[in-house]
Structure 1
Amino acid sequence: MASNIIRPGYVGKFSCIGPDCEDSCCIDWSVHVDKQSYLKIMAHPQLKSLAEDSMQPINVKDEDWAIIRFSEQGRCPFLQQDKLCKIHAVAGEEALSETCRSYPRIFRVRGDDGFESLSLSCPEAARLILFGEDAFIFERNETEKPIQPRSVPLWAEKAYDYSIDLLLDEHSDWQQTLLAIGLLVNCADKVTKQQALPELLDDTYTQLSHMAAEGELRQAFQSLPYLPEHQLHIFLSVHSMCCDEHPRRYRPRFGELNDAILAMSDGKEALNMEKINSAWNDIAVPALRANEDLFSRYLLYYIYHLQFPMTADNSPLSAFNFLVLDCFMLRSYLAVMAARHNGLSERDIVLCFQVYHVVRQHKPNFHKSVRSIMEQSALTGVEAVVSLLKVSGS
């Protein structure tokens, strides 16, 4: 069977902007070098001396043959004063490590097809995903390159397709849609536990579509409890973990977000979730009227990028919990930035999404830490998780 490569518009339009990047991936980043690239760099007469001083062999496997030791200032030793890569400049792209050559590009396999995407941890990628014209126009092209198929269970295919369909339904906003997706994923979870057949997802999707059209989803979301103290605990716990894990926590870009959070504190440096939620309602929402589809775009990216709700352990509810948690954290970040600047510029929005995803998409401890935080907070059940998104009056 012929394989296809699926490519969204934001991938086709991406090009590294190099020295113009506001958060270079050549600073405060962990770079692993594969064996083939290591040997090429070490053999190059213009790179050998610098490579001997800055590349440390670890010989774990061919994909992780060496690591690059960054300077005390957090800069890659191959990063020149013009913010361009010396390896690329003198030896060409083919000499770059696979990490440097591919980032922020991501390639995943689903069934017989390959799916291309970008990491939101790159500012330019975030800008294209969140604001780019035709970002979600998808191309499907046959490929002769061999692709190792990855089998996808029927429940995952149905949950993926129906989640996108619910997201594109114009009868609900993005928060109400998340509640619908949660109810759908709850059915998928029953299928994985052999408590129901995959056909239950068909019936559930039909019911949820009807609920959206009749306004019942809106009513269901409005009936969820509003628990600002609970929200504050989650926000502080996850943000504190991000502060500990973020490789650029001492850089100005992360500092902007942290300063905005601190500015929301009172004299005792105690945050008030009511103030954050009020900033969302009163400042952020009006500022986002020109970009009302911001979270819908993010959710479409999210579902596609992660092949939601597939996880390594086939736990669709776990995937859903992370989806809601991510939206909650991003909404809170946007709220504090809006309060700080009395509005939201495109730069502010990109900063919030990109800075968060440096940890979200690249730190292995993120999943373990967040899962522990959510378990300790008794966040169990779709309604309890979605209640994170409630604000006063919604």
Structure 2
Amino acid sequence: MEKSLIRPSFVTQFSCIGSDCEDSCCYGWNIIIDKQSYKKTLAHKELKSLAQTALKKVKKSEQQWAQMVLDSKGACGFLDDKQLCQIHAKAGEDLLSHTCKTYPRMSHMKDGDRYESLSLSCPEAARTILLKPDAFQFERMTVNHHRTFKATPIWAKKAHDYTIQLLLKPEQPIEHGLTAVGILMKTTERVANGELESSAIDDMFQQLLSLSNNGQLKQHFEGFNKDTEIHKMHAFTSMQLWLNTNKAGRGRSRFEQINQAICAMGDGDNKISMGRINQAWRDVALPALAEHQTLFSRYLFYYCYHMNFPQVDALTPSQAFRVMLLDFFMLRCYLAVIAAQKQGLSEHDIILCFQVYHTNRQHKANYSQYAVELLDKGQFEDLASILTLLA
């Protein structure tokens, strides 16, 4: 069966920088080893002795046969004194486990086609996706496989394509694009529930383009009630507290930089307000991001592609949109507090915020469910309320 492999140029541009990485994936992670890699490593004459102490059998499955033993600093036992992998150096890439060989490369299947991507939990991947030129050129290659697949509903295909077009509409503020996507998801959800025909998504998309062109979308966004600072602060602190709970071993020192910057936003009574964070966003972060004007449009394009929005986990289209808004909101808060602390934002600071957030997000297995519950409790239950996170 002929199918396609879709590969964005950020995947081909990516190259591991090894020991120069700010947050090496060889530290702080429970690296799982498949059975075949485990046996080959133990059989290798130059690695056998080291493997006996650097690997521990767990035998949960063929794919989770063993795991790396980390030293007191959280480092993989196969690293040499230059922080380079001895398996790679002595036996080549072929002997690496599947995890080590592929990370941060990822992929998902849709209608039998394979879509390749990278995880933002890797600093160099984040830099490539968010900052490098021409990162979003796509190539499509024909491949053959006989795997079965479940067809994507027409409502999901339309919603996915129209979301990207709305977010990337030239000279439109990203907040207005997100407002349009939120409105589109309300219609999409009704189609998914069988209340409307799929053509309703096409009609709404055209209406939203017209609203954007005549300025009514801007008025729609600016008309939302902005007096929600208490609720927004509750959403931010609740999510940050949860991310701090049982956080990933990898990158803890980098995550603490975010926590310290948040604490530094406190007033004389050590109280942190959304007003202070918003002011830091307007006065420091936004001017510092002037030379990276495509940062959030790149991020949201990646988000839709990587997450296969709006078919995210088991969420409804409206729930998927609300989670997207929460992610967007948290990243803006991170950038704001770091900008306030540093009195500006370097490229290093930008990558820190995105990579740290997505590292912790990735390691929360029930992230989407918790995010929806948090938003419900915080009275961000409908479109009008969730859009106030953009204010």
Counterpart in the other structure of 2:326: 325
Q: Does 2:41 align with 1:41?
A: yes
- Cα deviation 1:35-91 (Å, max 9, x = unaligned): 111111122222223322232222222222222221222111112221111111112
Tell me if the contact between 2:313 and 2:368 (Cα under 8 Å) persists in the aligned partners: no
Moved more, 60-69 or 292-301: 60-69
AA of the residue aligned to 2:153:
P
Counterpart in the other structure of 2:185: 185
Gaps of 5+ in 2: none
Counterpart in the other structure of 2:210: 210
Distance across 2 between alignment mates of 1:73 and 1:206: 56
- Cα deviation 1:181-208 (Å, max 9, x = unaligned): 1111111111221111211100110111
Distance across 1 between alignment mates of 2:367 and 2:315: 18
AA of the residue aligned to 1:168:
L
Tell me if the contact between 1:280 and 1:335 (Cα under 8 Å) persists in the aligned partners: yes
Counterpart in the other structure of 2:389: 388
Counterpart in the other structure of 1:154: 154
Percent of aligned pairs with the same amino acid: 43
Distance across 1 between alignment mates of 2:246 and 2:272: 21
Moved more, 68-77 or 218-227: 68-77
Distance across 2 between alignment mates of 1:145 and 1:195: 36
AA of the residue aligned to 1:299:
L
Taking the TM superposition and a 5 Å limit, the aligned residue runs for 1:295-314 are: 295-313=296-314
Counterpart in the other structure of 1:15: 15
- Cα deviation 1:239-287 (Å, max 9, x = unaligned): 1111223324874322222211111012332111101000101111111
- The offset of 1:209, in angstroms, is 0.7
Gaps of 5+ in 1: none
SS in 1 for 2:217: helix
Residues 139, 87 of structure 1: alpha-carbon distance in 2 compared, 3 angstrom cutoff = same
Q: Does 2:242 align with 1:241?
A: yes
Tell me if the contact between 1:37 and 1:95 (Cα under 8 Å) persists in the aligned partners: yes
Counterpart in the other structure of 2:353: 352
Distance across 2 between alignment mates of 1:132 and 1:115: 20
Taking the TM superposition and a 5 Å limit, the aligned residue runs for 1:89-238 are: 89-144=89-144, 148-226=148-226, 227-238=228-239
Tell me if the contact between 1:159 and 1:201 (Cα under 8 Å) persists in the aligned partners: yes
Distance across 2 between alignment mates of 1:224 and 1:10: 37
Counterpart in the other structure of 1:32: 32
Q: Does 2:311 align with 1:288?
A: no
Tell me if the contact between 2:10 and 2:128 (Cα under 8 Å) persists in the aligned partners: yes
AA of the residue aligned to 2:336:
A
Moved more, 190-199 or 146-155: 146-155
AA of the residue aligned to 1:35:
K
Tell me if the contact between 1:246 and 1:358 (Cα under 8 Å) persists in the aligned partners: no
Tell me if the contact between 1:3 and 1:147 (Cα under 8 Å) persists in the aligned partners: no
- The offset of 1:148, in angstroms, is 4.6
Tell me if the contact between 1:248 and 1:254 (Cα under 8 Å) persists in the aligned partners: no
Counterpart in the other structure of 1:369: 370
AA of the residue aligned to 1:34:
D
- Cα deviation 1:315-357 (Å, max 9, x = unaligned): 2122111110000000000001111111111110000000000
Counterpart in the other structure of 1:271: 272
Tell me if the contact between 1:249 and 1:255 (Cα under 8 Å) persists in the aligned partners: no
- The offset of 1:128, in angstroms, is 0.7
SS in 2 for 1:64: coil
Moved more, 374-383 or 247-256: 247-256
Tell me if the contact between 2:28 and 2:250 (Cα under 8 Å) persists in the aligned partners: no
- Cα deviation 1:98-156 (Å, max 9, x = unaligned): 11110000111111311111000000000011111100111111124555534211110
AA of the residue aligned to 2:98:
E
Q: Does 2:90 align with 1:86?
A: no
**TM-score normalised by the chain length of structure 1:** 0.95
SS in 1 for 2:302: helix
Distance across 2 between alignment mates of 1:108 and 1:249: 25
- Cα deviation 1:2-60 (Å, max 9, x = unaligned): 21111111111001000110110011112111111111112222222332223222222
- The offset of 1:363, in angstroms, is 2.5
- The offset of 1:225, in angstroms, is 1.4
Distance across 2 between alignment mates of 1:12 and 1:329: 29
Residues 27, 249 of structure 1: alpha-carbon distance in 2 compared, 3 angstrom cutoff = closer
AA of the residue aligned to 2:313:
A
Moved more, 375-384 or 246-255: 246-255
SS in 2 for 1:245: coil
Moved more, 371-380 or 258-267: 371-380
SS in 2 for 1:385: helix
Distance across 2 between alignment mates of 1:61 and 1:307: 29
SS in 2 for 1:40: helix
Residues 250, 270 of structure 1: alpha-carbon distance in 2 compared, 3 angstrom cutoff = farther
Taking the TM superposition and a 5 Å limit, the aligned residue runs for 1:252-263 are: 252-263=253-264
Tell me if the contact between 2:71 and 2:77 (Cα under 8 Å) persists in the aligned partners: yes
